[in-house]
């Protein structure tokens, strides 16, 4: 009778507990595109090796169980994390302070340390770590071996990071640097309806013209709107913008056509992709009509691979750049051709028309003057990023 009782108890426990985890899956709530960091963006003294760095990010959707990814994709040597912690940050990057009592240690296969070989990505063990929507999070790494000249990172963080000598926890006198290094993504264990948008973009998506430590890129503004809408409040936004990036060749960082398998399809929980690249290709040397044709072929390939995975793809026409050095009649013709194809080809599941929302009413080929950053006629200012985030139809992300 005792054995039967134990079996019955086990069965009942399984029945009771199963619904709690039914349909749960990992969804990225924050992630960043990475590259080999250019020399002028490498870590300042005292450098990374044998020192500690605290980096601030702002997530999108909430969660209670998390794991963190760290990347050594582009470095030439190994990176050793002696220990790492995650905590609520006191600000969105303006200080290194964390909220007392929120710090949780991370482990890797049960060990507090891990060595990441060149070309590798590691994921921490899941930990209980409650996060609210748009949570400011501090990731602290105490590093051993780590190069400060061959570094995987994200130069355009628009967020300050904090670096100190040794394996300490007092960052009050830390050296500041507005770049991220090694950190790659934060994922939450979420219910089935939670899902992610991932954006392939360049400096306009990366946030040039936004405000350091204020998290006001157009993707941030979109995220806040999604969270405020009942039907989309479990949709995260992942910004895969890289400043100076091209789709085809040249530019900064790995090209869009080389990085999309990693930056789009290796993110957890992705349901939607936004493709918003091309201005650096079209504005560079060479025939822009030919480049537009080539970009279309890359987009077709991404769309086909996304649809095979059940992912919707939305196209964003290239925004106007008349007044910038990129502008010429040929470059504008290439932009118009690509934009017409995005709007009317039928390949995309929908269109997010920043070009229509951001134009000068007196000259549609030029950005609206009230949205100009440093009068470069290419990048929006903070108000422009609000306009971009506000012009997107949230119904695109309700199903």
DSSP 86-133: EEEBSSSSSS--B-TT--EEE-BTTBS-EEEPTT-EEEPPPEEEEE-T
- Give the contacts of 359 (CB within 8 A, at least 6 positions apart): 320, 365, 366, 367, 368
pLDDT of 7 reads 38
DSSP conformation letters of 50-76: TEEEEEEEE-SS-EEEEEEEEE-TT-S
Place 20 in a pLDDT band, splitting at 50, 70 and 90. Answer: low
* pLDDT, tens only, 97-142: 999 999 999 999 999 999 999 999 999 999 999 999 999 999 999 9
Place 23 in a pLDDT band, splitting at 50, 70 and 90. Answer: confident
* pLDDT, tens only, 284-296: 999 999 999 999 9
What value does the mean pLDDT take over residues 177-181?
98
What value does the mean pLDDT take over residues 316-343?
98
The answer to whether 317 and 333 are in contact (CB under 8 A) is no
C-alpha of 165 from chain center: 28
* pLDDT, tens only, 193-207: 999 999 999 999 999
- Residue the block writes with tokens 């994922």: 187
- Residue the block writes with tokens 């190994």: 78
**pLDDT of 4 above 50:** no
**pLDDT of 9 above 50:** no
The answer to whether 293 and 340 are in contact (CB under 8 A) is no
Distance CA 237, CA 256 (A): 19
Distance CA 48, CA 92 (A): 22
Helices 288-308 & 256-263, crossing angle to 10 degrees?
20
Q: Is 333 exposed, middle or buried (0-12, 13-18, 19+ CB in 10 A)?
A: middle
Distance CA 369, CA 225 (A): 25
**Residue 167 β-bridge partners:** none
pLDDT of 21 reads 58
User: Taking the domains of the chain in order of start, what are their residue ranges?
Assistant: 25-185, 193-397
Phi then psi for residue 143, to 5 deg, are -100, 150
SS3 of 272, please? Answer: strand
**Mean predicted lDDT score pLDDT of the chain:** 95
> By percentage, how much of the chain surpasses pLDDT 90?
94
Q: How far is CA 145 from CA 1, 31, 38, 288, in A?
A: 59, 24, 20, 45
Domain covering 193-397: architecture: 3-Layer(aba) Sandwich (3.40)
Compute the half-sphere exposure of residue 111: CA atoms within 13 Å on the CB side of its CA: 8
**Residue 191 β-bridge partners:** none
**pLDDT of 3 above 60:** no
Cα-trace Rg, the chain: 22
**pLDDT of 345 above 90:** yes
**pLDDT of 370 above 90:** yes
**pLDDT of 152 above 80:** yes
Place 17 in a pLDDT band, splitting at 50, 70 and 90. Answer: very low
The answer to whether 277 and 200 are in contact (CB under 8 A) is yes
- Residue the block writes with tokens 């025939």: 287
* pLDDT, tens only, 251-275: 999 999 999 999 999 999 999 999 9
**pLDDT of 13 above 90:** no
Residues 195-230 as b/e (b if ≥16 CB within 10 A, e otherwise) read bbbbbbbbbbbbbbbbeebbbbbbbbbbbbbbbeee
Least confident of 2-11, 48-57, 164-173, 301-310: 2-11
**pLDDT of 281 above 70:** yes
- Give the contacts of 376 (CB within 8 A, at least 6 positions apart): 324
**pLDDT of 182 above 60:** yes
Distance CA 399, CA 69 (A): 28
Distance CA 73, CA 116 (A): 9
């Amino acid at each position: 009778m005792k054995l039967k009782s134990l079996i019955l108890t086990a069965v009942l426990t399984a029945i009771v507990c199963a619904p709690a985890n039914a349909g749960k899956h990992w969804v990225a709530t924050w992630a960043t595109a990475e590259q080999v960091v250019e020399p002028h963006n490498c870590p300042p003294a005292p450098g990374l090796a044998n020192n500690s760095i605290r980096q601030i990010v702002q997530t999108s959707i909430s969660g209670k169980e998390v794991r963190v990814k760290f990347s050594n994709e582009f470095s030439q040597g190994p990176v050793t994390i002696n220990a790492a912690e995650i905590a609520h940050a006191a600000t969105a990057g303006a200080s290194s302070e964390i909220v007392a009592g929120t710090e949780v240690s991370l482990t890797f296969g049960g060990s507090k340390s891990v060595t990441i070989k060149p070309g590798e990505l590691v994921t921490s063990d899941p930990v209980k770590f409650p996060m609210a929507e748009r949570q400011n999070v501090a990731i602290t790494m105490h590093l051993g071996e780590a190069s400060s000249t061959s570094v995987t990172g994200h130069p355009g963080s628009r967020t300050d990071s904090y670096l100190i000598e040794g394996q300490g926890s007092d960052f009050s006198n830390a050296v500041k640097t507005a770049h991220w290094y090694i950190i790659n993504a934060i994922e939450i264990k979420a219910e089935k309806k939670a899902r992610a948008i991932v954006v392939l973009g360049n400096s306009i998506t990366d946030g040039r013209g936004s405000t350091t430590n204020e998290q006001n890129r157009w993707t941030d503004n979109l995220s806040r709107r999604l969270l405020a809408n009942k039907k989309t409040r479990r949709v995260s936004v992942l910004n895969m913008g890289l400043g100076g990036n091209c789709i085809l060749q040249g530019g900064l960082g790995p090209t869009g056509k080389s990085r999309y398998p990693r930056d789009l399809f290796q993110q957890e929980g992705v349901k939607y992709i936004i493709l918003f690249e091309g201005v650096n290709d079209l504005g560079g040397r060479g025939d822009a009509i030919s480049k537009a044709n080539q970009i279309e072929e890359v987009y077709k390939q991404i769309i086909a691979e996304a649809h095979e995975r059940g992912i919707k793809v939305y196209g964003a026409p290239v925004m106007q750049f008349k007044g910038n050095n990129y502008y010429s009649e040929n470059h504008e013709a290439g932009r118009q051709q690509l934009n017409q194809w995005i709007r009317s080809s039928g390949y995309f599941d929908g269109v997010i028309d920043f070009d229509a929302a951001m134009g000068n009413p007196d000259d549609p080929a030029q950005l609206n003057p009230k949205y100009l950053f440093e009068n470069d006629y290419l990048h929006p200012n903070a108000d422009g990023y609000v306009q971009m985030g506000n012009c997107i139809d949230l119904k695109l992300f309700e199903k």
